Amino acid sequence: MMLAEIVSYILIVATIVAAAAATQVRDITRAIVAFTIMNIMVAAMFYVLGAPYIAAFQLLVYAGAVTVLFLAAIHTMRRR
Amino acid sequence: MSDPSFVVNLLKLIVFPGFLFMIGLAFVYEWLDRKFYARMQNRIGPLYTGPSGFLQPFADFVKLLAKEDIVPQAADSLIFSRMPIIALTTMFVAVTLLPIISVYGVLSFSGDVIVAVALMTIFCIVVFLAGISSTNPFSSVGAERAVSQLLGYEIPMTLAIAGVALSAGSLRLADVVQAQASTHWYIFGPQALGFAIFVIAVQAELERIPFDIPEAEQEIVAGWLTEFTGRKLALFRLSRDLELIFVSGLAATLYLGGPTGPVIPGLEAVLFPVYFVIKTVVVLFILSSIRTVFARIRIDQMVNFSWKYLVPLSLFQLLLVRIMI
């Protein structure tokens, strides 16, 4: 029980830090990396909380597909 | 911490069906692939290092480890230096999902089929970031092509896997294997179409010849890999080989019955890895033949082909599976 609590606290802190980084970092590629890390952390949190299917789909849809869409979008727009 | 099951699990993860075994198998499969590819082209292939050049991939790996490690001045070194490690980690996690010594993989939980697909997508994101962070025009073009290609092949692949999940009635690899052991291999029946779609999509995932658009060496040097040297290149090469095992293992698990087969009771732990290797080598030879037979297509042709033919075919396959079960 103790270990699960420690893990979930670490995940919560990491999620908040990554989410803050995703909004505050100037470089858009790094912001997307932070967003991906946040989504992986959220997926891990769902898994720890006992919802493996939501965790798997969070990983597939948000950490995978949405990130790829963002990355595909940044190469079609002009970089500054 | 000191109970025996912990030690057994750790050994499983690190030594036998885990990391060490997979690294060894990665070099063997690269050798098999190169040798088969060379023989199909009437060349000899690796010859000098070890018997029939068996140790050549390992020698290449050691050689790359000893070479100079260059980070370009303009590169985003924070991302550039981390990406080879993350690529290797992603693939190490992915190979532990494969069932080898029993119907369960080292990591086995409900929903691991989805995680397998997600890890392949994450590997593609790693490829993109590696290419973009090099700030070399060739790398950037390669990286953009890798992502455009992913938008093409990921959906047919996921739909093909969805067909398997539908007939097994589960999103867990262990359940898929057990369902095939109790009925029939999914390649026999309507899933044969799904297997074909999966093999094509996987060829694109591996960036092998008809779809080696992101690293087309005649146009863009080595694509997203251009700026990587020494240790970083070695790690990327190793993760590519692990990915080759992973996708052929996934094809064997989803369509060819995984590691199961006729066994003498008590000898499952010995015979299952043998069946696994035989089945994955068959898939590897299919992948290598495709690589030999075709020529590279353009990126727009690839995405066109995926959306006009592969996606409708995979939807049709899903319908077929739904009707026939």
| Residue B311 to residue B155: CA distance in whole angstroms | 7
Q: pTM score, two decimals?
A: 0.87
Q: At what angle do helices B137-168 and B230-255 cross, to 10 degrees?
A: 20
R_g of chain B, CA atoms, integer Å: 20
Between chains, do B109 and A59 touch, taking CB under 8 Å as contact? no
Query: What's the one-letter identity of residue B159?
Result: L
Q: What pLDDT does residue A80 have?
A: 53
Between chains, do B118 and A59 touch, taking CB under 8 Å as contact? yes
**Residues of chain B where predicted confidence (pLDDT) is lower than 70:** 1-2
**Closest residue, chain B, to A72 (C-alpha):** B147
Q: What pLDDT does residue B312 have?
A: 92
Q: If you search the block for the tokens 């074909």, which residue do you land on?
A: B196
Between chains, do A68 and B109 touch, taking CB under 8 Å as contact? no
Q: Which residues contact B315 (CB under 8 A, 6 or more apart)?
A: B159
Q: What pLDDT does residue A1 have?
A: 63
Identify all chain B residues contacting A59, using CB atoms and an 8 Å cutoff.
114-115, 118, 122
B155 touching A (Cβ < 8 Å): no
Identify all chain A residues contacting B77, using CB atoms and an 8 Å cutoff.
none
Query: What's the complex ipTM?
Result: 0.80
Between chains, do B147 and A72 touch, taking CB under 8 Å as contact? yes
Domain ranges in chain A? Answer: 2-76
More reliable by pLDDT, A3 or B26:
B26
Identify all chain B residues contacting A53, using CB atoms and an 8 Å cutoff.
110-111, 114, 171
Q: What pLDDT does residue B214 have?
A: 79
Q: What pLDDT does residue B191 have?
A: 83
- Structure tokens belonging to residue B178: 């057990």
Is the pLDDT assigned to residue A79 strictly greater than 60? no
A4-8, A13-17, B31-35: range with lowest mean pLDDT:
A4-8
Between chains, do A56 and B144 touch, taking CB under 8 Å as contact? no
Residue B4 parent element (H or E): helix B4-14
Closest of B114, B126, B115 to residue B150, by C-alpha:
B126
Q: What pLDDT does residue A70 have?
A: 85
Q: What pLDDT does residue B11 have?
A: 81
Q: What pLDDT does residue A17 have?
A: 92
Between chains, do B147 and A75 touch, taking CB under 8 Å as contact? yes
Q: What pLDDT does residue A16 have?
A: 92
Q: What pLDDT does residue B2 have?
A: 57
Confidence of residue A78 (pLDDT cuts 50, 70, 90): low
